[in-house]
């Protein structure tokens, strides 16, 4: 019973307060909590909401294909299908020193890549953490920060003898946010994603903004290529595995890239590019089914996340599958059950009621080694949220993490399947280079993607394999810079 703040006067004419009753059963521990049967009932309800049948997946794939085709035919579509002006695959003979800067969702990464030819390289890199304030600060200040970090890195490399003093190195700039490009060293930001919201940036050329900051801070670097991490991953992965046809990122955000024939990109037909030439396409597929919400199986929890986000209605696909949101989906389910008097009865739950306090990494830990995962769940809830859990609750949370993670992987398979189907890769099979924290660290994520591909395509789906990709935002960006430098020196589409 809670402590009382005062004592009523004996003379007060009030009805006696009835005693509080709480019934306990033999399967309960010291704290009151829901029965195993009630937890099972809630789990069945959630299984219905989060389970994707093969038939539903195939319907999503068909809608996804239509969105890809529409993005190739017209500019300004929901899935923008951005031509990157990366022409064809690397030769493997690219060589030289290149800088790479990656403005990611969590960190700013600065690299020096020495391409040695023959598919070999060396890389030196430094990471700088991005604060939430920087993500929402004035856009030019964000690029000033990037320039300052690059300058410090270059000066350190000059002192160590890695970079020659006075040299102006080619720079590949990895900017993994949707930009419209009409040439490889130009990109107008369409919209921020991954929780960014720096003002006075959308609708502007981010290369020009970065160049302005480089000049301001006297950084000896020349931006020769703007690319996204997914395009870089495609190029770097093909560099070491020529079976690679598609690259995907499953991390804070999600995206895919692949190589498309120029003749199948109607919206750039006026540029005079040879019909058989190939151009890497940055799909920006996280936007699939945005605004209309006709195809994806959004639950009420997904809708809450969307409406509370800084971009309501946008990035619908990303909000169902990316690492930024999976933990929040599970947290919202937990909070709903707290409000209904099902979980953590009699405990102070304010810590878990803080938005985005439940990291997706917790889901990953909850699905780890089955001999340890229930102990892991005890630790997560007691250490981070100061609540005690019962065995029934821990089993429920583990099953819930599996539901949320499995749905994300199966939806990811739908995106891959749409590109495979569109390009006709199913018969011969292909490799998919995949990167990002979800793919690399979330237990069974890759396995569930493969299961999804088989559910969509049948046995032929086994010929579509994913593997841990090469470093797209570092090595891939440097290779793209080298390819661009070589192409322009050969006078091949020099204005693109």
| Cα angle: 83, vertex 88, 93; to 5 degrees | 135
Distance, first Cα to last Cα, the chain: 73
Q: From the candidates 102, 144, 205, 229, give the one annotated as an active-site residue.
A: 229
Active site residue 298: no
Q: Using CA atoms, how far apart are residues 242 and 163, in angstroms rounded to an integer?
A: 31
Other beta carbons less than 10 A from residue 65's beta carbon: 16
| Cα angle: 111, vertex 115, 119; to 5 degrees | 120
Q: From the candidates 109, 191, 331, 407, give the one annotated as an active-site residue.
A: 191
Assign 356 to helix, strand or coil.
Answer: coil
Other beta carbons less than 10 A from residue 112's beta carbon: 22
Among residues 491, 488, 473, which one has the least CA distance to residue 227? 473
Q: From the candidates 109, 144, 157, 176, give the one annotated as an active-site residue.
A: 176
Ranges of H-type helices in 184-325: 206-216, 229-240, 300-308, 318-321
Among residues 317, 345, 248, which one has the least CA distance to residue 20? 345
Give Cα 236 to chain centroid, integer Å: 19
Q: Using CA atoms, how far apart are residues 33 and 346, in angstroms rounded to an integer?
A: 9
Active site residue 165: no
Q: Using CA atoms, how far apart are residues 288 and 78, in angstroms rounded to an integer?
A: 7
Query: DSSP strand E in 271-351: where?
Result: 278-282
Angle between helices 54-73 and 391-423 (to 10 degrees): 50
Residue pair 373/366 in contact by the 8 Å Cβ criterion? yes
Q: Using CA atoms, how far apart are residues 405 and 380, in angstroms rounded to an integer?
A: 18
Active site residue 176: yes
The string of DSSP codes covering 23-37 is ---TT--SS----HH
Residue pair 327/359 in contact by the 8 Å Cβ criterion? yes
Give the catalytic positions in this structure: 176, 191, 229
């Amino acid at each position: 019973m809670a402590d009382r703040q005062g004592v009523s006067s004996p003379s007060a004419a009030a009805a006696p307060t009835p005693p509080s009753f709480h019934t306990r059963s033999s399967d309960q521990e010291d704290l009151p909590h829901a029965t195993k049967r009630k937890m099972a009932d809630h789990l069945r309800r959630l299984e219905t909401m989060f389970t994707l049948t093969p038939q539903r997946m195939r319907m999503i794939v068909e809608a996804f294909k239509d969105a890809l085709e529409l993005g190739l035919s017209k500019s300004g579509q929901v899935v923008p299908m951005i031509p990157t002006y990366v022409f064809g695959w690397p030769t493997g003979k690219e060589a030289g020193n290149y800088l790479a800067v990656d403005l990611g969702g969590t960190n700013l990464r600065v690299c020096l890549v020495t391409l040695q030819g023959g598919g070999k390289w060396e890389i030196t890199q430094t990471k700088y953490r991005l604060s939430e304030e920087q993500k929402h600060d004035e856009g030019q200040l964000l690029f000033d920060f990037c320039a300052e970090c690059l300058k410090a890195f270059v000066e350190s490399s000059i002192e160590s003898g890695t970079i020659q003093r006075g040299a102006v190195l080619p720079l590949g700039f990895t900017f993994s946010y949707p930009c419209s490009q009409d040439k490889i060293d130009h990109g107008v930001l369409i919209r921020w994603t991954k929780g960014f919201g720096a003002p006075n940036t959308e609708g502007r050329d981010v290369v020009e903004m970065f160049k302005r900051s480089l000049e301001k801070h006297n950084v000896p670097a020349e931006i020769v290529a703007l690319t996204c991490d997914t395009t870089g991953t495609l190029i770097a992965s093909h560099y070491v595995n020529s079976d690679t046809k598609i690259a995907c990122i499953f991390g804070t955000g999600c995206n895919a890239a692949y190589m498309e024939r120029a003749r199948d990109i109607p919206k750039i037909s006026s540029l005079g590019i040879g019909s058989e030439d190939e151009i890497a396409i940055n799909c920006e597929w996280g936007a699939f089914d945005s605004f209309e919400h006709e195809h994806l199986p959004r639950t009420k929890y997904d809708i809450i996340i969307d409406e509370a986000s800084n971009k309501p209605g946008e990035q619908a696909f990303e909000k169902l599958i990316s690492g930024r949101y999976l933990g929040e989906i599970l947290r919202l389910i937990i909070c709903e059950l707290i409000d209904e008097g099902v979980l953590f009865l009699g405990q102070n739950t304010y810590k878990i009621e803080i938005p985005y306090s439940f990291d997706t990494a917790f889901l990953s830990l909850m699905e780890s080694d089955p001999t340890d995962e229930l102990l892991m769940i005890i630790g997560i809830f007691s250490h981070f949220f100061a609540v005690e859990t019962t065995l029934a609750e821990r089993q429920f949370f583990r099953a819930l993490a599996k539901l949320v993670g499995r749905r994300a992987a199966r939806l990811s398979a739908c995106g891959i399947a749409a590109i495979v189907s569109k390009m006709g890769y199913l018969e011969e099979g292909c490799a998919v280079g995949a990167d990002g924290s979800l793919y690399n660290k979330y237990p069974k994520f890759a396995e569930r993607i493969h299961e999804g591909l088989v559910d969509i395509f049948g046995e032929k789906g086994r010929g579509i394999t994913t593997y841990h990709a090469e470093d797209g935002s570092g090595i891939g960006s440097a290779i793209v810079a080298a390819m661009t430098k070589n192409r322009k020196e050969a006078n091949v589409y020099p204005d693109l």
